[in-house]
Amino acid sequence: MDKLIINGGKKLQGSVQISGAKNAAVAVIPAVILAEAPCVLENVPSISDVTIDLQILREMGADVRVLDKSTIRIDATHIRDAVVPYEMARCMRASYYFLGTLLTKFNHAKVYMPGGCDLGDRPIDQHLKCFKALGADHSIGRGIVEISAGKLIGTQIYFDKVTVGATINAMLASVKADGLTILENAAKEPHIVDLANFLNSIGADIMGAGTDVIKIRGVKRFTGANYAIIPDQIEAGTYMVAAAATKGDVTVNGIIPKHLEPITAKLRKIGAKLEERDESIRVMGADTYERTNLKTMPHPGFPTDMQPQFAALLTLAKGTSILTEGIFDNRFRYVDELRRMGADISVDGKVAVIEGVERLTGAPVKVADLRAGAALIIAGLSADGVTEIEDIQHIERGYEGMDVKLRSLGADIVKRRFTDGVRTAM
C-alpha cells in the first residue's frame, strides 16, 4: 500500500507544467474507436484512468503504442464488438463513453455499469434517454448496460439537467446518425469542446460545442488525425490553490487562463495576488485570507472538481466561509479528515460551513475520492508537522506525478510503500 508523507509548512515556489486534461482524455480516447485510420494523441496525461482506457482498447484488439510520455498512437480500425469488462468499467466513470462509441461503430454496445468517485447518487438516465431518442433500445442485467439499434436517426434532445457525461455520450452516439441531432441544455465544459474538436478533426460535423445548443450532422466516414488534448484546468487550479495555501509563489505553465476564470476570481477575492499571461498564471500567496462563499455550478460556474481543494484553503481564512455543492449529493467526504487536522467545518446536506482556524496540524488521513485527495495534500502542505495520506490510488487516477511536481516546487513530500507495516522509499 502506497502512502504520501508530507512534512508541511514549506512555501511552494517556482513553476510547474500542467498535463493534459483527464476529463478530456477519457472522452477522446474512446472516441478514437470511430477513426478509420490510426490517430496520434498528444498531451495525454500519465494517470491511471488513461491507463485503464488504453487497456480497454487493447482488450478490444486496438494497437496502442506509447510514443513518448504524453504521446500515444492508437490504431483501433480492427477492434471487435467486445464487452467492456467489469474490472475496468468499475474503476472509472468515463468507461460509459464506450457505450456511445461502440453504439456508433457497431450499432451495439455492452459495458458494465461505470464506477468512479463515490459522490452520492450518479444515475445514467440522461444517457439512456439520448440513446433511446436516437433509436436505440437498452437493457440492464447482471450489472451490464446493453444497447442496440437497427439504425441511429438524428433527433432533438433536451437534457433535463446539465450533464457532462450525457452530453458527451450523445455526441458520440449521434456523429454518424442519419440527419441532424440537436442537443439542448448541453454541458459547456472545456472538455466538451475538446471532444467536439477531436471528432471534427476526424471528419465529424459538430457545431456549437461550448454553448448550450450543440448541432451534430451525421457523416458517413471518419479519417485519422493527430490531436493534442487541452491542458487540465483542475490540475492547474489545484496547484494554484496549493500555492496560495502555503503562502508561496508559483507559476502554472501550459494552461488556457480562460478555463480558470472562476478559480482566479475567487483566489483574488480572498486576497491572493495573480499575474495572468497568455499560457500561464502566477499565484503569489498572502499572509492571511478573507472569508468567502462559493457555490459549485456547471461551467462556466465554479467547478465542483475544485470545491474540496478550495475548502482546504478556506479552513485557514479569517471568518466563516460557506460552500454549497450544486452538482453532487455527497462531495464532502474529505471533511472528517480535515477535522483530524484541526479544521472547523460542519456539514448540513449540500452546505459546508467553515470557521477559519489559525493553523492545521499534520495527522494520518485517508483519501475518499480523487479531489478529496487533492484537498488533503493541500492541507498537509500548509499544516504544521507530518501528514500521512493513505489510499492515494484515488489521487493517481487524475493527477500525473503529483509528488514529483510538488517536490520540484520545494514541498517535502515523498511516496512510500508500506508492506506489512514496513516502509520502503519509492
- List the catalytic residues: 117
Judged by CB under 6 A, does residue 295 bind ligand EPU?
no
Judged by CB under 6 A, does residue 327 bind ligand EPU?
yes
| Burial per residue of 49-69, b for 16 or more beta-carbon CB atoms within 10 angstroms, e otherwise | bbebbbebbeebebebeeeee
Judged by CB under 6 A, does residue 163 bind ligand EPU?
yes
Taking the least distance from each CB to ligand EPU, the nearer of 124 and 317 is 124
Pull the grid cell for residue 222.
Answer: 471518419
Taking the least distance from each CB to ligand EPU, the nearer of 117 and 172 is 117
Q: Where would I find the H helices in 246-368?
A: 261-270, 307-314, 335-340
Taking the least distance from each CB to ligand EPU, the nearer of 257 and 326 is 326
Judge whether 283 and 303 are in contact, CB under 8 Å.
no
Task: For residue 407, give every residue at least 6 positions away whose Cβ sits within 8 Å of its Cβ, in sequence order, or none.
Answer: 413, 414
Judged by CB under 6 A, does residue 188 bind ligand EPU?
no
Binding residue for ligand EPU (CB under 6 A) from 305, 325, 400, 403? 305
Judged by CB under 6 A, does residue 259 bind ligand EPU?
no
Taking the least distance from each CB to ligand EPU, the nearer of 119 and 363 is 119
Closest separation between CB of residue 262 and ligand EPU, Å? Answer: 12
Q: Where would I find the H helices in 18-124?
A: 22-31, 48-59, 86-89, 97-106
Q: Which amino acid is at 115?
A: G
Binding residue for ligand EPU (CB under 6 A) from 68, 123, 141, 220? 123
Q: Which of 320, 336, 346, 416 is nearest to 379 (CA)?
A: 336
- The Cα–Cα gap between 217 and 169 comes to 15
Judged by CB under 6 A, does residue 304 bind ligand EPU?
yes
Q: Which of 128, 173, 126, 167 is nearest to 153 (CA)?
A: 173
Which of these segments, 18-26, 223-231, 271-279, 341-349, binds ligand EPU (CB under 6 A)? 18-26
Q: Which amino acid is at 417?
A: R
Per-residue binder mask for ligand EPU (CB under 6 A), 74-113, x = binder: -------------------xx-------------------
Taking the least distance from each CB to ligand EPU, the nearer of 22 and 247 is 22
CB-based burial of residue 359 (10 Å sphere; 0-12 exposed, 13-18 middle, 19+ buried)?
middle
Binding residue for ligand EPU (CB under 6 A) from 127, 259, 333, 366? 127
Pull the grid cell for residue 287.
Answer: 499572509
Taking the least distance from each CB to ligand EPU, the nearer of 112 and 289 is 112
CB-based burial of residue 11 (10 Å sphere; 0-12 exposed, 13-18 middle, 19+ buried)?
middle
Binding residue for ligand EPU (CB under 6 A) from 6, 8, 23, 354? 23
Binding residue for ligand EPU (CB under 6 A) from 4, 12, 26, 360? 26
Q: Which of residues 345-404 bind ligand EPU (CB under 6 A)?
A: 370-371, 398
Judge whether 271 and 288 are in contact, CB under 8 Å.
yes
DSSP conformational letter for 34: G
How many residues in the shown chain lie near ligand EPU by CB under 6 A? 26
Judged by CB under 6 A, does residue 340 bind ligand EPU?
no
Closest separation between CB of residue 311 and ligand EPU, Å? Answer: 14
Binding residue for ligand EPU (CB under 6 A) from 76, 89, 124, 199? 124
DSSP conformational letter for 167: H
Binding residue for ligand EPU (CB under 6 A) from 37, 65, 67, 125? 125
Taking the least distance from each CB to ligand EPU, the nearer of 179 and 349 is 349
Distance, CA of 353 to chain centre: 25
Q: Which amino acid is at 258?
A: K
Taking the least distance from each CB to ligand EPU, the nearer of 166 and 255 is 166
Cis peptide before 303 (omega within 30 of 0): no
Judged by CB under 6 A, does residue 164 bind ligand EPU?
yes
Judge whether 67 and 40 are in contact, CB under 8 Å.
yes
CB-based burial of residue 369 (10 Å sphere; 0-12 exposed, 13-18 middle, 19+ buried)?
buried
Which of these segments, 158-166, 307-315, 332-340, 407-415, binds ligand EPU (CB under 6 A)? 158-166
Binding residue for ligand EPU (CB under 6 A) from 65, 108, 161, 423? 161
Judged by CB under 6 A, does residue 268 bind ligand EPU?
no
Binding residue for ligand EPU (CB under 6 A) from 4, 6, 133, 166? 166
> Which residues here bind ligand EPU, judged by CB under 6 A?
22-23, 26, 93-94, 117, 121-127, 161, 163-166, 187, 304-305, 327-328, 370-371, 398
